[in-house]
Structure 1
Amino acid sequence: MRGGLRGFVIFLACLTLGVASIAAVNSVSEMMTSGIQREGRTILGGDMRFGLNQRRASAEERAWLGGLGTVAETGSLRSMARLPDGSNQTLSELKAVDASYPLFGTVGSEPAAPLADLLAERDGRFGALAAPEFFDRLGIRPGATVRVGQIEIELRGVLTREPDVLSDGFIFAPRLLVSLDALAATGLVQPGSLVEYDYKLRFADPSRDPELVQAEANTRFPQAGWSIRDASEAAPSLQRNIERFSQFLTLVGLTALVVGGVGIANAVSAYLDSKRTVIATFKSLGASGRFVVTVYLLQILILSSVGIVLGLLLGATAPFFAARFLEAHIPIAAEASVYPGALLIGAVFGYLTALAFAILPLGRTRDVAATALFRANDGPGTLRMRWAYAGTALLLAAGVAALALAMSSDRGVAGVFLVATAVAFVILRLVAMAIRWGAARLPRVRSTPLRLAIGNIHRPGALTASVVLSLGLGLTLLVTLASIDRNLRNEIGGTLAARAPNFFFVDIQSAEVDAFRTAISALAPGSTLQDVPMLRGRITQLRGTDVSKVEVPPEGAWVLRGDRGITYDATLPEGATLTAGEWWPADYAGEPLVSFAAEEAGELGLRIGDTITVNVLGRDITARIANLREVQWESLAINFVMVFSPNTFAGAPHAWLATLQMPNDTPEAERAVLSGISNTFPSVTTVRVKDALDAVNALVAQLALAIRAAAAVALVASVLVLSGALAAGNRARVHDAVVLKTLGATRATLIRAYVTEYMSLGAATALFAVGAGALAAWYVVARVMRLPFVFDGGLAVVTLVAALVLTVGFGLAGTWRVLGQKAAPVLREL
């Protein structure tokens, strides 16, 4: 080791990069998760939170909650806010609060003033705070008035901080904060309105056990239908997303580490090759093969520790850089720190990967004879591997996979990712073998550079396997992620937007349905209006078993998580297709029946004849599954997981949901519909689908940026490995170049030969990466996301050019020094 680390620069770089990416992702994830746990009560809005849909707590329920401590009540729904003259309007997330709000944390506003004063009624007008985007959409400033429902509200300030916003889930529109008295005055809350009431509780006795309180709540009020959370799960949706995204980026980082493992193997092999005289001396003096392996294994472990420590130092700094950025987008006090658990994960991955790839060239060194080592053209890489070393490498690789699976929240996704990486690794090996096999069987050509290039591809010690492996994995991952991103954004911004309805209308009162249809006919003649009754309900039991005791796969858990929109219909909905069972008669009057979405039923293990219990408006309703039907969620039409027989909800108050498809969807025509409906039916919430898709597209773009950054790490690792592989082959190139020049070859001839060789390898690798990446992207887009897949030819061209530039560029950079070698010193070693 006193001889320097010249041969291990690529080794250290690959290991540092992979460990740093894994440690950084897990450190930032742990920082965010600990922030949510630390501020759980502030994020939740209380020690516990009791949520009810479409109804307020009864007097008995409210009295019981009040006996536990201080209660703050909030009501939330989506509503249209419009200027008093009706010239402009926007969708808003309306949140109404009482005098006790907030129990934890503070509300930030500009100007700063007590919340009760800002929301109080003055001169016949209630006050409100609004998010900055609300003012931007309407082109107004604080002090202006807007109409919400049947009243005018004065905007008295800008809402700069809402302590419990994360626990409310995804906020689709800008927030508008008012008092509960103002909400009641708007007239928006009607029978069947999609309003959610939350009761945030601050315990009078801080030692109360939330689990015991929840058990008591369910015992006292078994049909309340409320969703109950405590501070330990303040923002479950955000926490799940953090876990999933962290898992994905960890797997991408692991891919970068595996790609770097090829560089580790190349570096170790090249280093041992350069130490052939030292190893020969050891063996000539009686050293055993085990002694030689132990010496260099210790050296590899020491150098691995250096690379891992460097990676951990980089990973440990990630939370400090990410904290300020995250606080600007997520209202959590991200306290950056060093997270030993996250760093330990990175270190374990680093050691396992380094040893898995280093053990193979080390094993070959054991059985090399001293006489062979003294010959310049023989080296450690020319012998076969002992099964003991190959088995050890496989066990270490299995350890990497097992650790990745153990860390994953969704082991199915992690398993697919790991299997795909392993398969890609094997296929790349086969591709390299196929290229060598094909090159060896090509007919002899007259062109000297081409003949030399073909020979370099298939000769012993050729760079083919190293180039294909190093560049292939990184390019394949990049093509896969880029193709998924491109297809997803094209679908959301193009195809999906083209076939989706123009508007969704929510909270149409039953007494206004006929008038609403007439208004739509006048505002948008020739358009297609589809309307259905809609309620909200939460599945509480499957086949008589409480859902909290039912094991369901992650892909089906969303159906049981929170409340679902439900409807009823006497006939099979238009466009629906039954996959099993039969639809009930139009005049059916027997036990409640339900039609369930076929795919979701399969994920939950439901069959025809099974029963489900749904809590609607505080009542448990048990229905039997009569049929299963196929649901095309990607159509953005009106679709429901559950459609009940009409007699199930006879007499239950409910509103209606409608979609509007306009053949003339010009901006002017859409504005006319939006303005006309908002002014005529102030309680109806109008959602412009294109605005919703734009918001989703913007979110996908932000996620794609992080994914591209992670994929870039893998590509950088590929480039490092490629440069190391080409550098490792330069020793053999020196002998070839000197012999060829001695026999009369010119520098120009050799350069053309090397360029042809590198271009051939780069093109073959790019073709594989494009094909394998497109296949993987097709599987994710078409089979997992159920969206149409379109092959991107432009991406294929970019990948091909990138591969050619990298292979030719790095290849010539190393070869140029080879061509300048003096002949005499090299010839004396042959």
Structure 2
Amino acid sequence: MRWGGSRLAICWKLALREMRGGLSGFYIFLACIALGTGAIAAVNSVSRAITGAIASQGQEILAGDMRFELDNREATAEEMVFLKSLGDVSISTSLRSMARVADGSEQGLVEIKAVDDAYPLYGMFEADPDRPLDDLLRPDGDVFGAVAAPLLLDRLGIVLGDEVLVGNARLRLTGAVASEPDLASEGFGFAPRLLMSREALAATGLVQTGSLVEHGYKIRLEGAQQPAAIQARAASEFPNAGWSIRTSDRAAPSLTENVERFSQFLTLVGLTALIVGGVGVANAVRAYLDTKRTTIATFKCLGAPAGTVTTIYLIQILLLAAVGILIGLVIGTIAPFVAIRFLEGVLPVPREIAFYPGALATAALFGLLITFAFSILPLGHSREVPATALFREQSFEGSGLPSWPYQLAAAAALAALAAIAILTAEDSFVASIFLGAVAFAFLLLRLVAWGIAALARRSPRVHSPALRLAIGNIHRPGALTPSVVLSLGLGLALLVTLALIDGNLRRQLTGRMAEQAPNFFFVDIQSSERDGFLDILRRHSPDGTINQVPMLRGRITALNGEDVSRMEVPPGGRWVLRGDRGITYEETLPENSSLTKGDWWAADYEGEPLVSFSAEEGGELGLELGDTVTVNVLGRNITARIANFRQVEWESLSINFVMVFSPNTFRGAPHAWLATLSDPAASTAEEATILRDVTNAYPTITSVRVKDAIDIVDRLMGQLATAIRAAAAVALVASVLVLSGALAAGNRARTHDAVILKTLGGTRSLLIRAFSYEYVILGAATAVFALAAGGISAWYIVSRIMNLQSVFLPDVAAMTIVAALVLTVGIGLIGTWRILGQKAAPVLREL
């Protein structure tokens, strides 16, 4: 009979009829599919909710339709005429400085934002108390109003109504920041916000030649003007302006990119959980078919073609998978509603949560492909095994791989899965490496399982009956070894990798990096202040090391004459081209650097401008020796030729720059100075004295205590690590489910073994010891693999990608071994305890 609608209809009816018995044996199957699908659907739904909010609320996030940003200089009269011709303009100025309590007893770093009366053009600024911003910032005599982040009040030990000193100005804190509409578009800040008027900023005296200042010109466009046309006009009329232009449809590109990258990582972890769950799918399908041996034999004896039998059970499996996928999609649908409660106030969130069919469809497709790929191989066995063998044998074990069409179908499903994951990823290369590592881990785990069984088979005879029985169970036909190693190995290896990366990064921050880092960075040191400033440092820290370099700010506008805004740049190099960069000039090679290509210029060099570029970042941008880099500094475009590349030790936290120019490039250009103080012997009290004296003597110098910055980064990493651990926990839960399913699938054979051994005189104590030994051996072997695989993966990421020192952490090793043993022995004994109480007679009658 040919395949057609009638045969498919018959298969459909038989499949539904046979499913009337319920979902017994498929609860773990459903849990694996629901967990993996739900994780992917949830992560992608939340990601799209956030990125959608950034896109839809672009005007509020940017506080304008367009923003023109200039570094270290204000717009000229001609530029202001151009900007005002576009529509309403709001001007804001941002910089970092020190805020001091009026009596000089406490001081702290602040992110200053000075705004005009037009701010904000879109969105609402909210403060506590809820009063108009103009009222909060209004001066009272020579004292200006200011609004501060609550964190600043806590750090300085002050309350609303108190006064602080910033530069040469006195400010009264009239309110606390509750909501700042354009905060997300201005990037991450290391210090609390202090909002003031532009008149107050002028009174501080902080804006001087060479100061690190950003001037933002936010515009509410009039009429039907197109941002693209305005950008082209700005580039044509002011080719040397050097301003960065952003539009409301890309209000926060860095935030969007970071959300998408983190979402990609969590999606890949969720996909790993789904792939691990695929092992559980295969186990469940195999166990289910084993219980249907007589039914399959009956079908074949009645003349049903092998393809019909396979189709009947494939329909059943896909229907069950649909139930698991539906549960996962419900989780993914609900996730944005839950996430918004935790993310509101931290990230832009949608005002109204919507459904994200694209994210749900991707998760559903992943779930279907995993189910098909991992179920088609055991289904193929039901086609290949003859009816007589089904009546005679206990299970499908030992029947080898199915015929090539089934192997090809499984390979095609996995290839489609990988292709979709790579094509939908933010970074296709990272996704390819990740999936390749998972595939390699699967292959390696198969070899590990084979190796454990081979060693058990060749092990010398032991005297302990329980241990001898355990070793035999490891290598016998139908042993649990492959299932246990596969189910636990990948989840534990992923957990070890993430734990080692997190541990190494924290070790760098709190250990080696903190020890190497200077005590202070001092920014915006004017040439007229250098001598007095250095006297203070030498007086308080006579044994300290002081490094100082000239400091300018510049924005890369072109590489080899090509506008960087029109270039496709790999993700690793985008940060160099986004925003302004600190630059300097040096006669000699800076400390903490080594040449990798080219030669350093002579001390008296007077030729064309030359630049030394960081080797890693230059490689990301595809730069070579002799290429040109155009940088806009103080409104002038300067083009320099790359003379050499340097290996920069960023982890030292010393003074380092992506670009170091030859001295003749900026001869005569006004600039400030950057300095560091390194004194390992300085106590916390001595550091506080240095900070207080420098700030009081030179209020316009910005002092950054490096330990405070490291603490902030450490807290951020802790928050990220929590999210990463939660994602890894999903993969580990999937591993536990698969392990439980594998043990449950083997309980039928275990029941026969237990009954026979008990009939031959074996005691319950002997059997428990035997099964415990078996689970301990398998758990320990799997833990060793997880340590090796996770250690190698973490070493590669930390040392090769992050360029940091990587060490093996013994506590992670101990945690992994304990986790593996607890899971295998605990779950194994829970499942085994029940079968030890089985009555012998019913089981013996089936043999």
Q: Classify the TM-score, shorter chain.
A: over 0.9
| Aligned equivalents of 2:25, 2:680: Cα separation in 1 | 67
Shift of residue 334 of structure 1?
4.8
**CA deviation string 1:22-77 (max 9, x = no partner):** 00000111111111111100100100000000000011111111011000000000
Please show how residues 14-25 of structure 1 align to structure 2 within 5 Å. Answer: 14-25=32-43
Tell me which amino acid in the other structure corresponds to 1:391.
L
Please show how residues 257-272 of structure 1 align to structure 2 within 5 Å. Answer: 257-272=274-289
**CA deviation string 1:663-695 (max 9, x = no partner):** 322111100110010001111000000000000
Please show how residues 107-118 of structure 1 align to structure 2 within 5 Å. Answer: 107-118=125-136
Match of 1:525 among 542, 550, 562: 542
Say if 2:592 and 2:648, in contact at 8 Å, map to a contact too.
no
Which residue is 1:43 aligned to?
Answer: 61
Which residue is 2:717 aligned to?
Answer: 700
Say if 2:280 and 2:738, in contact at 8 Å, map to a contact too.
yes
Matched, 1:613 2:634: no
**CA deviation string 1:418-447 (max 9, x = no partner):** 111111111000000000111111122222
| Aligned equivalents of 1:63, 1:332: Cα separation in 2 | 36
**CA deviation string 1:763-803 (max 9, x = no partner):** 11111111111111111111111111121111211211111
CA distance 1:575–1:10, shift in 2 (3 Å): closer
Which deviates the most, 486-495 or 371-380? Answer: 371-380
State the SS of the aligned residue for 1:188.
Answer: coil
Matched, 1:98 2:111: no
| Aligned equivalents of 2:820, 2:605: Cα separation in 1 | 66
Matched, 1:281 2:298: yes
Shift of residue 829 of structure 1?
2.2
Please show how residues 58-97 of structure 1 align to structure 2 within 5 Å. Answer: 58-97=76-115
Matched, 1:53 2:55: no
Tell me which amino acid in the other structure corresponds to 1:298.
I
Tell me which amino acid in the other structure corresponds to 1:124.
D
Say if 2:520 and 2:703, in contact at 8 Å, map to a contact too.
yes
**CA deviation string 1:375-412 (max 9, x = no partner):** 24243663432111111111111111111111111111
Which residue is 1:151 aligned to?
Answer: 169
CA distance 1:39–1:260, shift in 2 (3 Å): same
| Aligned equivalents of 1:460, 1:44: Cα separation in 2 | 66
Indicate the RMSD between aligned Cα atoms, in angstroms: 1.2
Match of 1:162 among 180, 186, 189: 180
State the SS of the aligned residue for 1:140.
Answer: coil
Matched, 1:250 2:273: no
Shift of residue 335 of structure 1?
3.0
- TM-score normalised over the length of structure 1: 0.99
Please show how residues 671-682 of structure 1 align to structure 2 within 5 Å. Answer: 671-682=688-699
Which residue is 2:844 aligned to?
Answer: 827
State the SS of the aligned residue for 1:208.
Answer: coil
Which residue is 1:688 aligned to?
Answer: 705
Q: Percent of counterpart pairs with the same letter?
A: 62
Matched, 1:709 2:730: no
CA distance 1:380–1:581, shift in 2 (3 Å): closer
Which residue is 1:28 aligned to?
Answer: 46
Please show how residues 476-487 of structure 1 align to structure 2 within 5 Å. Answer: 476-487=493-504
Say if 1:75 and 1:96, in contact at 8 Å, map to a contact too.
yes
State the SS of the aligned residue for 1:6.
Answer: coil
Tell me which amino acid in the other structure corresponds to 1:349.
F
State the SS of the aligned residue for 1:328.
Answer: coil
Say if 1:368 and 1:380, in contact at 8 Å, map to a contact too.
no
Shift of residue 742 of structure 1?
2.0
State the SS of the aligned residue for 1:622.
Answer: strand
Say if 1:130 and 1:159, in contact at 8 Å, map to a contact too.
yes
Say if 1:536 and 1:563, in contact at 8 Å, map to a contact too.
yes
State the SS of the aligned residue for 1:374.
Answer: helix
| Aligned equivalents of 1:203, 1:52: Cα separation in 2 | 19
| Aligned equivalents of 2:838, 2:148: Cα separation in 1 | 73
| Aligned equivalents of 2:349, 2:273: Cα separation in 1 | 30
Say if 1:259 and 1:717, in contact at 8 Å, map to a contact too.
yes
Matched, 1:437 2:467: no
Shift of residue 185 of structure 1?
1.0
Matched, 1:594 2:611: yes
Please show how residues 486-525 of structure 1 align to structure 2 within 5 Å. Answer: 486-525=503-542
Which residue is 2:8 aligned to?
Answer: none
Say if 1:46 and 1:104, in contact at 8 Å, map to a contact too.
yes
State the SS of the aligned residue for 1:122.
Answer: coil
Which residue is 1:127 aligned to?
Answer: 145
Shift of residue 332 of structure 1?
4.1
Match of 2:832 among 811, 815, 823: 815
- TM-score normalised over the length of structure 2: 0.97
Matched, 1:310 2:360: no
Say if 1:376 and 1:829, in contact at 8 Å, map to a contact too.
no
Shift of residue 333 of structure 1?
4.7
Shift of residue 330 of structure 1?
2.6
| Aligned equivalents of 1:138, 1:173: Cα separation in 2 | 13
| Aligned equivalents of 2:620, 2:101: Cα separation in 1 | 47
Matched, 1:236 2:253: yes
Tell me which amino acid in the other structure corresponds to 2:269.
V
Say if 1:589 and 1:647, in contact at 8 Å, map to a contact too.
yes
**CA deviation string 1:502-547 (max 9, x = no partner):** 0000000122122221221112211101000011111111112222
Which residue is 2:7 aligned to?
Answer: none
Which deviates the most, 119-128 or 541-550? Answer: 541-550
| Aligned equivalents of 1:480, 1:665: Cα separation in 2 | 37
| Aligned equivalents of 1:150, 1:715: Cα separation in 2 | 57
| Aligned equivalents of 1:102, 1:240: Cα separation in 2 | 25
| Aligned equivalents of 1:549, 1:95: Cα separation in 2 | 30
Tell me which amino acid in the other structure corresponds to 2:128.
E
Q: How many residues align?
A: 829
Say if 2:381 and 2:396, in contact at 8 Å, map to a contact too.
no
Tell me which amino acid in the other structure corresponds to 1:451.
R
Say if 1:449 and 1:750, in contact at 8 Å, map to a contact too.
yes
Structure 2, unaligned runs of 5 or more: 1-18
Matched, 1:190 2:208: yes
Matched, 1:722 2:743: no
**CA deviation string 1:613-671 (max 9, x = no partner):** 11111111011111211111111000011111111112211111111101322111100
Tell me which amino acid in the other structure corresponds to 2:263.
S
**CA deviation string 1:217-240 (max 9, x = no partner):** 111100000000000111111101
Which residue is 2:31 aligned to?
Answer: 13
| Aligned equivalents of 2:464, 2:539: Cα separation in 1 | 78
Which residue is 2:790 aligned to?
Answer: 773
Which deviates the most, 575-584 or 270-279? Answer: 575-584
Tell me which amino acid in the other structure corresponds to 2:550.
P
Tell me which amino acid in the other structure corresponds to 2:470.
A
Shift of residue 551 of structure 1?
3.3
State the SS of the aligned residue for 2:344.
Answer: helix
Tell me which amino acid in the other structure corresponds to 1:394.
A
**CA deviation string 1:697-741 (max 9, x = no partner):** 000000000111111111111000000000101111122122222
Which deviates the most, 743-752 or 274-283? Answer: 743-752
Which residue is 2:16 aligned to?
Answer: none
Shift of residue 826 of structure 1?
2.0
| Aligned equivalents of 1:333, 1:373: Cα separation in 2 | 58
Matched, 1:406 2:423: yes
Matched, 1:627 2:644: yes
Match of 1:733 among 742, 750, 755: 750
Which deviates the most, 579-588 or 641-650? Answer: 579-588
| Aligned equivalents of 1:750, 1:333: Cα separation in 2 | 59
Say if 1:737 and 1:819, in contact at 8 Å, map to a contact too.
yes
State the SS of the aligned residue for 1:535.
Answer: strand
Which residue is 2:5 aligned to?
Answer: none
| Aligned equivalents of 2:352, 2:688: Cα separation in 1 | 45
Say if 2:397 and 2:478, in contact at 8 Å, map to a contact too.
no
| Aligned equivalents of 2:466, 2:187: Cα separation in 1 | 64
Matched, 1:424 2:444: no
State the SS of the aligned residue for 1:100.
Answer: coil
| Aligned equivalents of 1:365, 1:247: Cα separation in 2 | 38
Shift of residue 815 of structure 1?
1.6
